[in-house]
Each structure stands twice: as C-alpha cells, then as structure tokens.
Chains A and B, each alone.
Chain A
C-alpha cells in the first residue's frame, strides 16, 4: 500500500469515526490539541484503525508515541514496510 493510500485511509477514519472535516486533516495537526481527541477517544481511534487496515496494534508500544496525524501516517507506513499490512491493500 503506497503512502498516499495510507494517508487517505487514515483520513477516512477521522472523517467517519469522528466526523472531522477533511480540510482539518493536515499532517501537522496534533491529535489531542488540534483535533480534540482525548485518551478515551484514542481507544476508539485504535479500534477504527485496526478495522480499516485489518491489523492489530492495540498492544504495540509505538502507538503511545503518536502525537500528530503525520505520526499515524508514518507509523502505518512502517507497519507496511514490516509486512504487517495485508498485501491486498483493501
């Protein structure tokens, strides 16, 4: 899955699960401060990302270091490089 597709799918998660407008989803946006998510929303975000990418990330320590949208894009890209993402790219 290429980076552009990952960005699209992550953004879809924010649009569908949190109804955040597309124009607010810039890579530098901080998840807590700019997008308004809180610690409980992060649980929902992880579940939504797991469903969207067919992955299991709940116990991955790296999730704790995510601060911005760009961090999510990079993290999912890294999972792709590690071969964790399904190859069909759905």
Chain B
C-alpha cells in the first residue's frame, strides 16, 4: 500500500491516492524520536510497518485509511524529529515533508513524563496554523515515575485537545484519532477547496516583541508572492502559503525558527510546571539499567559480551538451521528438481546450468537467507527497540571514531562475518550517508561465512592452521587500515554527537518480528534474482566449457601479477557470482583443465577433493588465492544490496576499490611468498 514517494520534486497529485480515500481528511503523526510513535501508530492502524527513514534512502510516506469514531481519516506517519527544522533524510527539512503531506490536522505525540522538552515541538506545529491534537504518550511510564498530568489544563493553554495515551495498551489512542478526525473534517468543510489555514492562533503565546517579529516576517512574505511569479518560485515557504498549506504566520514561524527556540522553551517550561505534579519515587529500574550500561564499568565489558553473544547466537542458530535445511533439501528437493529439469529442458548443457540455478542457487538462498539473515534481523530489531544500541553507541563512540563510525556500527560490522547482505542493509541504523558508506566499505571487506570457509579450506590443509589464522589476521588488518584510509579520503567528518538516551525498554515481540520480517522481505527480493542468475551464468560457463578460452587469455597476466595459474583467476571472477564456490570451482576447473585424474567434473564440485588442490597450487599460491578471494569484489547479492541501499555509483566505487585493493595485496603477497 505504498502510495507516494517524496522526492525533491513535488507534485500535489502524487500526494493523493487516486480514487479511494482522496477526499479523506489527512492526519499527520509528528513526534520526537523515542516517544513511542511507531507503537502508537501500530495501535492506531492495527498493524506495524516500519517507516523507512535511513539516511541515504528516500523517505516514503504512507497514507493509511484508519477508521475513527468520527469517520475514516488518512493517517500519514512521519519520521521522528526534534524540531520542524531537522533534516530526517535526504535533503528537505522536516516541515517540507510535513506540509507536502497536506495535513488537515496534526497529531503531536509527546512524552507525558517530560513535557518541558516535548512542548516546543507542539508549539511549533501549533504555530503553523493547522489544528493539532496532543497525545501525551508513555503515560504508563510517566505514572510509574510519579508524574500526574492535568491534561485539561494543558488543553486550555494550548487551545487544543490533549489526551493521555499509552501505545502499548492502546489507552487514549482512539480518542486522539477521534479528535483529529473531527478537527480535520471541520476544517475541510469550512474552508472548502481553498483550505486556508487559520491565519492566527488564538491568544498569541509569545512575548510581544516576538509576536511583532512574526507579524513583520509574515508581511514580508506577502510582497513577492502576489506580485512577482519568479520570486515566489524561489521561495518554497511563499509557495506553500500560496497553495494554502500553511498560514502566513506559520510560514513566518518557520523562517524565524531559530529565534523562537528560546521563547518556546521558556513557555514549555512554564506550562509544564503548571500542568504536572511530581511525586518523588525511587528511580525506575529502566533508568537505573540505562545508567549502568552507559557507565564505563560495567558498561564496556557488557558491550563486548553483548556483541560476542549476538555474533555467536547468529552463528549457532544459523548453523543449526542451515544444516537441517541443507540435508532436508538435498534428500527431498534436489532429486525431484533434477528429474523435472532433465525432462523439461532438452539440451543437456542448458539443463545442467538450470540445475545450477534452481538447485544450487535456491539452496544457497535458503541456507544463508533464512537461518543467518532472519536470525540476525530479529536480534538487531530487538537490540534497536530495547534502546541498547544507543547506549552502546555512546560508550564506544571514540573507539569506532577512528574509522569515522559511531559505536552502533559494531553490530552490522560483526554481522558481516555471517553474510554481507544483511550487514549492508543493517547500516541503516547509522545516521548519515557518510557513515553508511564507510560502514558498507568495511562490510564488503569483511570475510563472510562463505569466504571464511574458502580461506580455511584453501589454506589450513596445506599450509597449516596458523597460516589460516594468519590469512584472517592479514585480511582484518587490511580491513582496518582501509577503513582508516577511507575515513581520511571521503570528504566530511563524523558529526558531533548530540544524542538523547532513552531509558531501556522491553521490546514488543510483535513489533520486533514485524520489523525483522519487513527487512527480511527486502533481502529476499533483492538477493534472490541475482543468486539465481549468477548461479545460472556460472553453471553455463562451466558446463559449456566457455571458461577455457578466458583462462588461456588471462594466464600470462595472472601469472605475472599474482603468481597464480589462470584457472585461479577464473575461479576468483566466478566467485563474484557465488562466493562460497570459489574453492570448489578452482578444484573442478583444475581437474578439467589439467586432466588431473578427475573423471567427472561434477564429482569434484560436489565433494571437495582436497588432494587435487594441493597438486595444482602450492601452499603459497593457495594463500594468495584465499586472501585475494576474500578481499576482492563482493558477491553479486552484496553488490545488488549496495546498489539498492547507496546507489549505483557508490556500489561501483566500493567494488572497484575492493578489486584494486585485492590485486594490490595479492601482487605484493606473491612477491613476499616468492610465488611470482
């Protein structure tokens, strides 16, 4: 039900669902981060959907039809914001996003326990001249802290309905929506097509000097708007006024936002003192926990434990599930598929290539996708929703600062050692595009489970376990150095940290599951076609023998630089399509190419016959092969994910850089080991 997408270019027509719901009053949902807005929304619309507000992605605004006691409304969720000037994603400020949604009423969700901080946003929304309803949310937490709220009095001060709500239990949610629906509908009925917002708010709340400034700024907007078309186009605020989306005073309040900060904060503090009574209570457990996890002791050891535990949990759960699925698949699906394909596809080469895709490719998706990726997404969602990631970010800020990353990047980076694809998607939890690019670069250099298997299987039997560990250490060192290098090269710097620490909260299982599922679906949709197509291409090239001429052509170059036979290069290139097959491909290609006693090439593929690898490549060559395979170009599914998350150019740059890095490392390594 994704209805419209907001880019820099705005077309009013895209803001309306054609046909159904176009005449429904629109209610926008606004609130600071961590105020429980998504829980509130889930309660309001009876289902959970993640709002995609990761930096570097387009913000989608979904308009959902919701029934209220005063008829249906179209509910639009907006990303969490601290002020109307914040830039949540992309490059348009929050107020532009809000006005583009053409709201007839705004529901402002605030923390009932901390009105002084949340009321400024309410005042800013109220200044726009649109009807507002205030949801004093998290009332359960506030009451646990000993806060009593006079919502009636606050309503009088704000000249707007104020309702105490709790998203978790649903208390007050329907009442808020009912108020919003009534206000939105009235506004539509009275204003008709013009829908001009109220020009002034009753009882101007600010000191006279501020009000005078607002009036003056409003009047200045008027001039060019009416007389000169060209000038009006240049000023988005004026055009919003002209289209009746915001009152003149509202536009002035947006323009003077910085000088309104103090009057609003003062008002918020005075009013919150009037409407709340605080009873001293012992510090709630959640806040005590939150303090503990952000203190260096025991927070730092806890963080190390938490990361290692997450890592091990994903590996363990993933490993068990993956093994079970593989055996189930090979015993039931594989034979059936083989029979079906051989009857349906008459050309033997094509049939075998199709099997590569359907049998091998689907199996790879199934055994990586569900066990590792879904497990990781569940864990990540739980950690995010509990608020622990934020605490971890504070604690490890300086450690990861060396790489230009905040502490919360630890989780996706660790995941990368399972599978790069979810790790790249996991970079969404970072706040700026620069951080995401830096993290994605490190992710693609981190050996995933498939690449680790290649390193272990290629090095350990012939050069010993210490050499295999050495290969890992080398890759790790290269990754860290590359990260520091990229941090120095990519323009910009890590933003200074100003972060609100929410108390730890128990994650809601249903929301965690929904969030994980939402992301998992994205993974499946992105990766599956590439996995299938990649497997098919590898299969076709292998089965038809098309790789042989390529190998002959590449042979002298690869020998001179990496000190490897050309078949190794072919294996590395094909590993782009199926990374975990790199070593098996090398064995199989070697068997065919050198005629090294492998009667059937597919036998060499299915069971890795280690002695033959040793007869084709020396231990030193295998070491180079393992390191180059590990560093070079991410697999095709990762590439597709990079493209989807960060754009084609960034994906190409990261891949190109990794190829150069791998070739450079391989060339130097070959000289050191004396194989070239």
Decide whether A and B assemble into one complex: no
| B interface residues (Cβ-Cβ under 8 A, vs A) | none
| A interface residues (Cβ-Cβ under 8 A, vs B) | none
